[in-house]
Amino acid sequence: MKFSWKVLVLWTVPALVIGFFFWQGAFASVPADMTKNAANTRMTYGRFLEYLDADRVSSVDLYEGGRTAIVEAVDQDIENRIQRWRVDLPVNAPELISKLKEKGISFDAHPMRNDGAIWGLLGNLIFPILLITGLFFLFRRSSNLPGGPGQAMNFGKSKARFQMEAKTGVKFDDVAGIEEAKEELQEVVTFLKQPERFTAVGARIPKGVLLVGPPGTGKTLLAKAIAGEAGVPFFSISGSEFVEMFVGVGASRVRDLFKKAKDNAPCIIFIDEIDAVGRQRGAGIGGGNDEREQTLNQLLTEMDGFEGNTGIIIIAATNRPDVLDSALLRPGRFDRQVTVDAPDIKGRLEILQVHARNKKLDTSVSLDAIARRTPGFTGADLANLLNEAAILTARRRKEAITLREIDDAVDRVVAGMEGTPLVDSKSKRLIAYHEVGHALVGTLLKDHDPVQKVTLIPRGQAQGLTWFTPNEEQGLISRSQLKARITGALGGRAAEEVIFGPAEVTTGAGGDLQQLSGMARQMVTRFGMSDLGPLSLESQQGEVFLGRDWTTRSEYSESIAARIDAQVKAIVEECYETAKKILRENRSVTDRLVDLLIEKETIDGTEFRQIVAEYTDVPEKPQYVPQL
C-alpha cells in the first residue's frame, strides 16, 4: 500500500503538537527542586499535626508558596526509620510556622520557579511554527502539480512546449504523399536558414502558414518535419490551451508566448487545432464567448499589430477553415494556406513505402496493389492499415505479412471487425442474392465502377458486402455515372423482389436507400440534372454557431418543392426498373453466382466478371493507369 506524503504531514504535525502539550502538562507544573526531593508516599494534614505534636517530625521543606510540604519524620511502624512524606497544606495555616518554631524543627521555604510560564510561551510559539511549516511544505509540493494551488499565479503563463533545437525525429524524407505541401514548407525552412537568397530580390519571409486538410492527412507530421529541418527554436501549443474559464487568461498566455518567441527570434510557433481559439467572432445565438474572443483579438494583434513580430513564423493546422475568423486568414497574418489533402495513388504508394520500412512483408505483397485498392485513404489510414496487418500476422503466428493479412486489414479498417459466418439457411441465401444483385448490376452497367469483391462474411453491422473500385481521377462525375451508382445501389432490393417476390423484401436495403435518396436529391437541387433545368435550389447552410444565416428560410416555393419530390421519385423509379430488368434478363447467371458465393463465401472481382462473361457481354470499363 502506497503511503501518501500528504497523509504523513497531516498526521505528524498534530501528533507532535498534542504530544508536546501532554509532556508540558505532565512536567511543567512541578518545580525542578521538588522533583529531586519527591516523597514516595502522601500524608494527610491532620496526621502531619499528630506527628508534629508527638515530636516525630525532624524537618519540613515548603514548596509552591506554602501549599505543599515534604516532611521527614520517624515512622514507628517500621522500626523508627525516617521516612519522607508529601503533605498538601491548607491555604490558611499561619499557625504552622509558629508551631514549627516552637518545636525547634528545621524548616525551609523554597521559592516558586517560573518554569510553567516559560513552557507555556514555548508552547504558544512552537504550535504556530509547526503549523506554518506544515502548510508551507504542502504548498511547495502541490505547486509542482498541474492545477495545484501553487499554480494560481501562473494562469497567465504560456503552456507552449519549447525546444531550442527541436528533436522530433521527423524530417521531410519521412513525409510522403503530399509533395506540393512539402515544397511550400521547404521554402519556409530555406527562409530561416538562408534569408539572403530571398531578401536580395526584395522578398520577405511569410509571417504565417495555415495547414488545411481533413484529419489524418499529415498536418501535424509536416509541422514536426519543419521543426526537425529548420534548426531554430520551436514552440508548439494547442489552440485549446489558450482558453480558460477566466476572462483574460488566454490573452495573457498569447502575450507571454510571443514575448518568449521574440526573445528567441528567429523561431517557429506551431499552433495545432487553431479553430479552438480562432473561430469567427460574434458567432452563435446570444452573443459570443468573451474569453475566446479576447484571446483571438490578442492573437491578431501579436501576429500583425502595431509592433509586429519580426523573425517569428507561425504555422497553424486545422481541419475546419470554414469557421475561422476572416481577420485571421488575411495576408499579413497567414500569408499562405497550404492544402494537405488525401493522397492520390502515387502518394499512397510513397506513404506505404515509408511505413513499410520496419515491416516484414512477404515477397508476394505488392505495395502498388495496396495503393490501388485504397482510394480515399489518408496517411494515418495507411499507417493503421499496415499496423493492423502486422497485428494479424503476429496473431496467426506468421513470419511475414502476406496478401491475406493485407486484405483482411483493409476490410477491417473500412467495414469493421469480422463476424461469425452464417450457416447455410434461407437468410444466407437471401443475403447472397442481395449482394450478387449489387455486383451484377454494377458489372453490367458501363458507367459503374468495377466490382472488386463480393463476400458473405459479416463485418460490423453488415451481413454481407460488395466492394467496388472507384476510378482514381473522378474529380467530376457525370449524370450517367450518378444514375449508374443509384441503379447499382438498388440492385440488392431489386434482386430480393425479382427472386422472392415483393412480399419478401427485407430491411437489408435501408442504408442503400438512404444513400441513393441523397444522391438523387442532389442531382435535382444542386447539380441541375433533372427536368427542372440547370438550377441550384439548395445550398449548404452554415451551422448555427457560425453566426451566419441561422434562420431557416425556404429558397423555393411549395410548388417547386412538390416538383423536386416528383423528380427525385422519377429518377429512383427509373433506376429501380433498370436494375430489375437486368436481373430478370440474367436470372441464370444470378443463380450460379449465388450458389458459388454460398459455397466459397467470397468471390473476387476477376472471377466474378469471368463467370458473367460466359453468359453475356460485359461492357469494358475505363481503368485509371497512374504514372508511378
Name every residue whose Cβ is closer than 8 Å to that of residue 478 and which is 6 or more positions away in sequence: 447
Dihedral sign (CA 412, 415, 418, 423) = negative
Q: How far is CA 523 from CA 135, 474, 515, 540, in A?
A: 71, 17, 13, 14
435 is catalytic: yes
Is 217 within any annotated ligand binding site?
yes
Is 214 within any annotated ligand binding site?
yes
Q: How far is CA 187 from CA 116, 197, 208, 248, in A?
A: 83, 11, 13, 36
Q: Which amino acid is at 360?
A: K
Candidates 293, 302, 350, 435; catalytic one: 435
Task: Report the candidate in 435, 438, 440 with the shortest Cα–Cα distance to residue 612.
Answer: 440
Is 190 within any annotated ligand binding site?
no
3-state secondary structure of 461: coil
Q: How far is CA 224 from CA 178, 205, 208, 302, 341, in A?
A: 14, 20, 16, 23, 18
Exposed/middle/buried for 471, CB within 10 Å: 0-12, 13-18, 19+?
A: middle
Cα(495)–Cα(466) distance, rounded to whole angstroms? 14
E strand or H helix at 610: helix 605-613
Would you give the DSSP letter of residue 624?
-
Is 438 within any annotated ligand binding site?
yes
Is 448 within any annotated ligand binding site?
no
Q: Please, how many CA atoms are within 13 Å of residue 100, restricted to the half-sphere of its CB?
A: 19
Q: Grid coordinates standing for 601?
A: 463465401
Is 218 within any annotated ligand binding site?
yes
Dihedral sign (CA 49, 53, 54, 60) = positive
E strand or H helix at 237: strand 234-238
Is 434 within any annotated ligand binding site?
yes
Q: Grid coordinates standing for 433?
A: 442474392
Output the known binding site.
213-220, 434, 438, 512
Q: Which residues are catalytic?
A: 435
Output the known binding site for Zn(2+).
434, 438, 512
Output the known binding site for ATP.
213-220
